């Protein structure tokens, strides 16, 4: 006896087929992004995905509203939400496991907002952050909850030129890219020529003393950050910056020595964890 095909079943099959088609198109769009081309235009994405431009534009708009794609000028790049899903790997897990207790200690001792930022491609990404709570108890900032004063949200993308952590990471870009002129790298951040000259002087001073500070005049926030040496055994761990932020004026330089000590402890802990994973 042949199986009877009803109207509801046909409707359901069509809906399933439509969903599969949309998912397939979304994957085709996402697959156009790679390490070599982290940022590309609408026409480039449509050509590589072999899809009509209007279709790609509609998909990008929907993904942008969900945080999966970020629009920068006339180009697109992977958004923070999708990045968070994609980086749940061993390397990022090692960084978060190693840093959380140290960030909690920093927040408790200094009364500031402690955070760890990594350099992913050409963007700074907050990997972990802790705020001092009542009675100096620390609480972890979670994605989707409102920021507490100076505390960056996990998964947010701090500015490379307008935060202390960003300037530390920017120095790592300039230091690691041999033959890449400082001015050219800074122009990639859409800075004007006078800003490039000013930032070059500031970055040189920050690199010499191995810490950077920043004062956000809008929110009257002060921050300081130091570099963390990633283990050479695992190339997937990005350059890291350990930072503290305060909502009131402090003598930030007094925290540089303590931050460097904690950064060395974090680097040592990362080396141990990586060695354990690889053994």
pLDDT of residue 257: 85
Better pLDDT: 277 or 96: 96
Which residues partner with 132 through β-bridges?
A: 138
Instruction: Give pLDDT, residue 134.
Output: 53
| Domain spanning 85-278, CATH class | alpha beta
Strand partners, 119: 124
From residue 31, how far is each of 27, 49, 57 by CA, in Å? 6, 8, 15
As a whole number, mean pLDDT of residues 230-248 equals 79
Q: Does position 240 have pLDDT exceeding 90, yes or no?
A: yes
- 90 three-state secondary structure: helix
- Domain boundaries defined on the chain: 7-78, 85-278
Question: pTM (2 decimals)?
Answer: 0.63
Q: What residue has token string 């399933």?
A: 16
Is the distance from CB of 145 to CB of 156 less than 8 angstroms? no
Q: How far is CA 206 from CA 93, 167, 222, 225, 261, in A?
A: 29, 8, 16, 10, 17
For the segment 129-155, what is each residue's pLDDT rounded down to a tens digit? 888 765 434 444 443 333 444 567 777
Give phi and psi for 98, each to the nearest 5.
-75, -30
User: What number of other Cβ atoms are within 10 A of residue 195's Cβ?
Assistant: 14
Partners of residue 227 on adjacent β-strands: 241
Give the SS3 label for residue 204.
helix
Q: What is the pLDDT of residues 16-70, one digit of tens each?
A: 444 447 778 888 888 887 655 668 899 999 998 889 999 999 888 888 887 778 8
Measured CA to CA, the distance from residue 259 to residue 152 in angstroms comes to 18
- pLDDT tens track for 203-221: 888 888 888 988 888 777 8
Query: CA distances (Å), 26 to each of 62, 107, 237, in order?
Result: 10, 41, 28
Q: What is the phi/psi pair of residue 40, to 5°?
A: -150, 160
What pLDDT was estimated at residue 84?
Answer: 57
Q: How far apart are CA 176 and CA 192, in angstroms?
A: 23
Closest residue by Cα to residue 186 from 202, 176, 200: 200
Q: How confident is the model at residue 85 (pLDDT cuts 50, 70, 90)?
A: low
pLDDT, mean over the chain: 75
Range from 26-35, 116-125, 236-245 carrying the lowest mean pLDDT: 26-35
d(CA 85, CA 63): 14
| The listed CATH number (1.10.10.10, 3.90.1150.10, 3.40.190.10, 2.60.40.420) that belongs to domain 7-78 | 1.10.10.10
* Model confidence band, residue 264 (pLDDT cutoffs 50, 70, 90): very high
Exposed / middle / buried, residue 77 (Cβ in 10 Å: 0-12, 13-18, 19+): middle
Max avg pLDDT among 149-163, 236-250, 259-273? 259-273
- Can 7-78 and 85-278 be said to share one CATH topology? no
- Per the document, the length of the chain is 279
Rounded to whole angstroms, the Cα distance separating 209 from 219 reads 26
Q: Which one, of 207, 218, 84, lies nearest residue 150 by Cα?
A: 218
């Amino acid at each position: 006896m042949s199986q009877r095909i009803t109207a509801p079943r046909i409707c359901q099959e069509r809906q399933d087929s439509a969903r599969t088609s949309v998912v397939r198109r979304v994957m085709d769009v996402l697959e156009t992004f790679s390490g070599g081309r982290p940022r590309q235009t609408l026409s480039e994405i449509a050509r590589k995905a072999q899809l009509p431009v209007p279709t790609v534009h509609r998909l990008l708009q929907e993904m942008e509203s969900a945080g999966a794609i970020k629009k920068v000028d006339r180009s697109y790049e992977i958004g923070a939400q999708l990045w968070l899903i994609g980086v749940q790997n061993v390397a990022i897990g090692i960084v978060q496991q190693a840093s959380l207790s140290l960030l909690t200690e920093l927040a408790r001792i200094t009364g500031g907002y402690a955070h760890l930022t990594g350099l992913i491609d050409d963007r700074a990404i907050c990997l972990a952050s802790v705020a001092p709570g009542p009675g100096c108890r620390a609480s972890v900032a979670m994605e989707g909850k409102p920021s507490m004063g100076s505390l960056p949200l996990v998964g947010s993308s701090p500015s490379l030129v307008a935060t202390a952590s960003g300037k530390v990471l920017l120095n790592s870009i300039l230091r690691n890219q041999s033959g890449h002129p400082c001015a050219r790298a800074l122009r990639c951040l859409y800075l004007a020529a006078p800003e490039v000259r000013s930032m070059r002087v500031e970055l040189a001073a920050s690199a010499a003393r191995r810490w950077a500070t920043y004062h956000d005049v809008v929110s009257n926030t002060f921050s300081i950050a130091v570099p963390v040496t990633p283990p050479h055994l695992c190339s997937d761990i990005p350059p890291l910056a350990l930072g503290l932020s305060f909502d009131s004026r402090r003598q930030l330089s007094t925290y540089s020595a303590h931050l460097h000590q904690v950064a060395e402890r974090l680097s040592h802990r990362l080396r141990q964890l990586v060695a354990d994973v690889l053994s």
